[in-house]
Amino acid sequence: MAILRTIMSIIFLAGIVFAPLNAQADQTDTRLNGLFETLQTLDNTDQAQAVANNIWNIWIETADPTLNENMQIGIFAMRVHNFTKALELFDVIVDSAPDYAEGWNKRATVYFMIGNYQNSMSDVQKVLHLEPRHFGALSGMGLIFMETGNDHRALEAFEEALKVNPHMGNVQENIKFLKEKIANSAI
């Protein structure tokens, strides 16, 4: 299941390399509605990925320089597997900005990466409360359910993620895998 952890990390970290600092946005940004609509109409995978990256960039943006700095350092700490430091920073972020969905999302990712699925799920639920269209969190929820042996709930979560972003190849693969697994277990 280490491969699943790596995949989830990639999902949650997708697009953040180009995240601008000191921009004013988050999950409430009005640009998101148009981007989500566009995501539904695209057939070209590269174009869809560019739109998804724009969504990730908006999700991560804030007007708070300290929050941005903590987020960037926390993301770097995750990348180098300094999970203790990443959790410290993401704790500060969610405490100081509890309505900032991406803070919860990043902390959920770290919890997943260290195998703390209960806390990861709790944070994913907070993300989805703040941003129901967060396809990364929906996919993360699916991975948590897979890790904990709840294939039916995993399938539901992945299908929800795909409704929001129909261009997630890894989610499509997980859906196919789970449908086959569930069908074979019914035999």
Which is more confident, 46 or 2?
46
CA dist 179 and 172 (Å) reads 11
| Position 19 confidence tier, pLDDT thresholds 50, 70, 90 | very low
Kindly state the tokens that stand for 179.
Answer: 């449908």
pLDDT band of 26, cuts 50, 70, 90: confident
When the candidates are 1.10.10.1400, 1.25.40.10, 1.10.357.10, 3.40.50.2300, the CATH number that belongs to 2-10+31-185 is 1.25.40.10
- pLDDT band for 146, please (50, 70, 90 cuts): very high
pLDDT digits (tens, 9 = 90+) for 80-121: 999 999 999 999 999 999 999 999 999 999 999 999 999 999
What is each CA distance from 104 to 42, 51, 76, 108, 166, in whole angstroms?
29, 22, 16, 6, 23
- CA 56 vs. chain centroid, Å, equals 9
Confidence bin at 25 (pLDDT 50/70/90): low
Is residue 12's pLDDT more than 60?
no
Average pLDDT over residues 22-36: 80
Percent of the chain at pLDDT exceeding 90: 81
- Domains of the chain by residue range: 2-10+31-185
